[in-house]
Amino acid sequence: MNRDGHDHDDASHGHDGDHDHDASGHSRGGGSDRGHDHSHDHADHDDTATCGCDDGCDTATAPDSVSDGPSASASPDGSDEGRTLRLSVPEMDCASCAEKVTKSVRGDAGVREVDAQPTTGTLYVRFDGAETDDDAVRSRVERAGYAVADTETATFSVPEMDCASCAGKVENALDGVAGVTERQTQPTTGEVTVTFDPGTASRGELVAAIEGAGYAVEDGDGGDSPRDVWRTPRARKTGVGAVFLAGGLVLEFLLPGLDALLAAPAGYEIHAAWVLYTLAVLLAGIPVLRNGYYSAKNASLDIDLLMSAGILGAMAVNMPFEAATLAVLFSVAELLERFSMDRARNSMRELMELSPDTATVRRDGEETVVPAEDVAVGETVLVRPGDRIPLDGVVTEGTSAVDESPITGESVPVDKSPGEEVFAGSIVEEGYLEVEATSAASDSTLSKVVEMVEDANREKTEAERFIDRFARYYTPVIVVGAVLTAAVPPLLFGDPFREWFVRGLTLLVVACPCAFVISTPVSVVSGITSAARNGVLVKGGQHLEAMSDVEVVAVDKTGTLTTGELGVTDVVALNGNDSTEVLGCAAAIESRSEHPIAQAVTAHAADRDVPEREIRDFESITGKGVKATLDGEVHYAGKPGLFADLGFDLEHAHVATDGGERTDGSRVSSDPRSDGGQMVEDARDCDHGSYLDLTNEVIPRLQSEGKSVVLVGTEDEIEGVVAVADTVRPEAEWTVSRLRELGVSRVVMLTGDNERTANVIGKRVGVDEVRADLLPEEKVEAVRELTDEHESVAMVGDGVNDAPALAAATVGIAMGAAGTDTALETADVALLSDDLTRLPYLVDLSSKTAGVIRQNVWASLAVKGVLTVAAPLGLITVATAIVVGDMGMSLGVTSNALRLAGVEPDAAASDDWGGSGSEDGNEGTNGNADGDDLRDAAA
């Protein structure tokens, strides 16, 4: 029973009750920061509902934070209990070693948890910082007989590393450096990340190793524009080489009379065209030969080695035209591949550039422009109209509309005023803001998004793993075929050597799997960065790939299908009062309460500009409601039982028949047919006009729609009824419908709310199945059942309270994750804005990404297959093999992948659902978009 008399009907707080609680029982859910007065909860609720939640509380805690280096970091809740230390213990390489280390470390009384991983030589220790420290834990490891190796991580920009073959050479070179414990190459971003022991290796040695593989290490991102590649020395040399090649063609085929014989050493004829071809090889082919040298040095059978062998072989048998053609066209192909890859990388650079490099801060009373990374937490940042906000923070002064689309993807600017949170990268549309920085530049939401997008690109999809396996066999087989093509016919059948050598050389060109290998990663990069720009953070290509196969979407209710915030849905004015008077009276009495229902009533009155009224002698009537003196008369607000105790006949409450007001303030007709629903039948005629049966008809009907009911009145009359409920998101129904259009076979609601309320909302939004009264562990079991039945299931929740269920799903999707560290960490996909329309967008994008990947892979396979057959038959030339099989396909798959950048959230979404809700978007769970005033029923 509720102390201040609010009838919760098990759903009045507007929450699914799966909040995560700490030991003290305080809610740590990721929804609203709204104060929750536990004294308002029903006394007869069981322990799982004492926080005022609807479906039980989740006691699971967020995972502990793990530091990137050897130092400890605090847990998300800020306590020392969760500090975690990660140590590199290379000599701990077996289960016995791990057991010894674990036993020794656990001997420290402050240690809470030990996780030894001998496969990686890594030790994770969670400890209480008040009882022990880093050095004590290290000492325990060393006492077990194992040395702790501190490591550093460095990231290098290697723009020329733009294919899997290039990455392989860099990896081989780094593997030869002592002290390197881990290396990750990302051709799609042109970056190499190396984890190493600084006591054994230095950054200089790492740079030397990378450059020793034939790739320059550059500062920054390697260029401001993809077009910069055409201004490089290699591009200029290739251009001149192409001119010499063209000149040789003119002399040899168009003006043979001018192609003079210059020399004939040892019968080796050197014509003028030969000289031009050779110059073309020297200019355009030297970079190719250089890379081929490094490939041979690193024992890497890749395209550079194959092309180098082809160029040198052609020159050796006096075929300068073929050598020059190979050198020039392959160099052009490499430049085009670099250009195409830079276009894909540019989408990542655009994300990084959203946050400004500098910030204007107030120091010692003066404005100072400083680098954004130098701004300390707590400093005041000044942001003027048109500027981007440089760091996450809280507005302390000023008001302005802020464009948060770079972070959330939401195109409509959001009004910000003092006390409200803002994100780095957002644009101040108008006005002036002073913002107190709440995080360092490196810890902003945007920085985390960029970092996670970069990390996501490191994860290989199933398609990429298949391609890698295929490429390992494809290239050697084709190389062997090329050698046999060039050697067998001349040696065994006496066929012309030159003809079969050219055929073998052509097949050698076809052996390069570059276009095939980059077809998937470039698609994944384009898809993930496109999603990030639209407020959807996909934390790995495998998750984007998995979303395309999702058959069932399981959706939490509170905070997902509903807003998670209570709103007034109906006002029933009785005994000649109008809805404004009823609402004003209710708001005045409830103004002293902090209960969510009270806050919903007062907020609704404020939105309708209902005049404020002063009260005095406020008093809580335990278990029934509240009373206060208003305009000299005692008024009551509370449960129906309170008014029954006051002697009112709730089965006979008089109403007027002159029309009334909807909750949106517009007039409604007194015509009974205008109600359009069953409530018309609630009106009864009597000697004094018309009346409603509150006890048996009105109140039960409102409660059946998941609403909480509050009666308002004096000692002499009941003035009216106010109904409050968690409001359905106006886009929820459209979202469910759109998911079906995109191929999702079932949409299932999973909620801890009571079955009656859940069924009302489920019917309203159109889900296929409702599972209610679920505890957090039962939600997990429900997801597992759906996964067993349908194989691929996506779960959508708040990312904190629903973390276990998200983890159990094929793809876990967190709603409204911007600024929520835990949600960003736990979910596979995070919808940064609180907008359900991003869910169909995610499904659409994943499906199109999967389609592009299939197109790229099968097109590459088909082209390579045709060329592989045509080359030995002499049906194609070396130039055709390069232009079509290498340069053309690389450019084609990249351009096809970049189309994903054009996939946007459905522009018609707002048109489709905007009219179905109330004018203010505050739609009740009953599905009555207008929130009809039940006075109409009396007419």
pLDDT of 928 over the 70 cut: no
Tokens at residue 230, please? 């055409």
318-332 pLDDT, tens digit each: 888 888 988 888 888
CA distance linking residue 13 with residue 291, whole number of Å: 66
pLDDT of 41 over the 70 cut: no
Note whether 106 and 208 are same-domain residues.
no
Most confident option among 213-222, 308-317, 339-348:
308-317
3-class DSSP assignment, residue 651: coil
Stated as kind and residue range, the H or E segment containing 714 is: strand 708-714
CATH of the domain at 542: 3.40.50.1000
CA distance linking residue 417 with residue 397, whole number of Å: 7
Strand order, beta sheet including 689-692: 653-655, 689-692, 683-686
Q: The tokens 């079991």 sit on which residue?
A: 781
Note whether 734 and 663 are same-domain residues.
no
pLDDT score for 798:
73
How distant is the alpha carbon of residue 761 from its chain centre? 27
Torsional sign, CA 740, 742, 743, 748: negative
CA distance linking residue 448 with residue 450, whole number of Å: 5
Stated as kind and residue range, the H or E segment containing 716 is: none
> pLDDT band for position 382 (50/70/90)?
very high
State which of 321, 353, 385 marks the end of a domain: 353
Residue count of the chain: 939
State which of 443, 477, 510 marks the end of a domain: 443
> pLDDT band for position 58 (50/70/90)?
very low
CA distance linking residue 801 with residue 560, whole number of Å: 12
φ and ψ at residue 914, rounded to 5 degrees: -60, -35
Cβ-contact 677, 932 below 8 angstroms: yes
Tokens at residue 303, please? 């395209």
> pLDDT band for position 689 (50/70/90)?
low
Q: Within a domain: residue 485?
A: no
Residue 58 DSSP label: B
Annotated catalytic residue: which of 556, 570, 675, 834? 556
Taking residue 237's Cβ as centre, other Cβ atoms within 10 Å add up to 18
Exposure string of 305-335, with b = 16+ CB inside 10 Å and e = fewer, is bbbbbbbebbbeeebbbbbbbbbbbbbbbbb
Note whether 571 and 709 are same-domain residues.
yes
pLDDT of 768 over the 90 cut: yes
Q: Within a domain: residue 453?
A: no
CA distance linking residue 482 with residue 668, whole number of Å: 84
Cβ-contact 169, 294 below 8 angstroms: yes
Q: Give the mean pLDDT of 809-827.
A: 71
CA distance linking residue 36 with residue 594, whole number of Å: 8
Host domain of residue 807 = 535-561+729-844
* Exposure on the CB side of residue 677, measured as CA atoms within 13 A: 18
Stated as kind and residue range, the H or E segment containing 575 is: none
708-747 pLDDT, tens digit each: 888 999 888 888 888 888 888 889 999 999 999 999 999 9
Note whether 704 and 570 are same-domain residues.
yes
pLDDT score for 825:
67
Amino acid found at 148: V
Instruction: Label each residue of 198-247 as H, E or C.
Output: CCCCCHHHHHHHHHHCCCCCECCCCCCCHHHHHHCHHHHHHHHHHHHHHH
422-451 pLDDT, tens digit each: 988 888 987 899 999 998 888 887 777 777
Q: Within a domain: residue 103?
A: yes
> pLDDT band for position 785 (50/70/90)?
very high
Average pLDDT along the chain: 76
CA distance linking residue 5 with residue 39, whole number of Å: 11
pLDDT of 803 over the 70 cut: yes
Tokens at residue 387, please? 């500027």
Residue 372 DSSP label: G
Tokens at residue 615, please? 């009260």
CATH of the domain at 193: 3.30.70.100
Note whether 724 and 592 are same-domain residues.
yes
Distances (CA, A) of 78 to 127, 350, 395: 13, 33, 24
Tokens at residue 876, please? 């194609």
Q: Within a domain: residue 314?
A: yes
pLDDT of 624 over the 90 cut: no
3-class DSSP assignment, residue 552: strand
Stated as kind and residue range, the H or E segment containing 100 is: helix 95-105
> What is the chain's percent helix, strand, coil content, to nearest 5?
45, 20, 35
Residues 6+ apart with CB under 8 A from 605: 583, 584, 586, 587
Q: What is the dihedral of CA 314, 318, 324, 329, to 10 degrees?
A: -30
Q: The tokens 């509720």 sit on which residue?
A: 2
3-class DSSP assignment, residue 920: coil
Stated as kind and residue range, the H or E segment containing 721 is: strand 718-728
pLDDT of 79 over the 80 cut: no
212-269 pLDDT, tens digit each: 888 888 865 444 566 677 888 888 999 999 999 999 999 988 888 888 888 888 777 7
185-196 pLDDT, tens digit each: 887 678 898 988
Q: Give the mean pLDDT of 300-306.
A: 78
Note whether 600 and 700 are same-domain residues.
yes
Residues 6+ apart with CB under 8 A from 685: none
**Range in 21-25, 85-89, 640-644, 801-805 the model is least confident about:** 21-25
Cβ-contact 575, 608 below 8 angstroms: no
In the chain, the number of structural domains is: 6
Q: Within a domain: residue 882?
A: no
> pLDDT band for position 10 (50/70/90)?
very low
Amino acid found at 314: A
What does pTM read for this prediction? 0.60
Higher per-residue pLDDT: 374 or 38: 374
pLDDT of 59 over the 90 cut: no
3-class DSSP assignment, residue 435: strand
Q: Give the mean pLDDT of 528-536.
A: 84
Note whether 270 and 400 are same-domain residues.
no
CA distance linking residue 937 with residue 2, whole number of Å: 30
The two beta strands, 358-363 and 366-371, are antiparallel
Q: Within a domain: residue 63?
A: no
Note whether 568 and 650 are same-domain residues.
yes
Q: Give the mean pLDDT of 633-645.
A: 86
pLDDT score for 643:
86
851-889 pLDDT, tens digit each: 999 898 888 889 989 999 999 999 988 888 877 887 778
Partnered with residue 619 across adjacent β-strands are 627
| Catalytic-residue membership of 7 | no
Note whether 338 and 387 are same-domain residues.
no
CA distance linking residue 23 with residue 46, whole number of Å: 18
Q: Within a domain: residue 64?
A: no
Partnered with residue 73 across adjacent β-strands are 84
Higher per-residue pLDDT: 143 or 463: 143
Note whether 278 and 395 are same-domain residues.
no
pLDDT of 659 over the 90 cut: no
> pLDDT band for position 341 (50/70/90)?
low
CA distance linking residue 747 with residue 726, whole number of Å: 20
CA distance linking residue 922 with residue 925, whole number of Å: 10
Note whether 710 and 581 are same-domain residues.
yes
State which of 806, 826, 844 marks the end of a domain: 844
Q: Within a domain: residue 377?
A: yes
CA distance linking residue 455 with residue 190, whole number of Å: 13
Note whether 549 and 590 are same-domain residues.
no
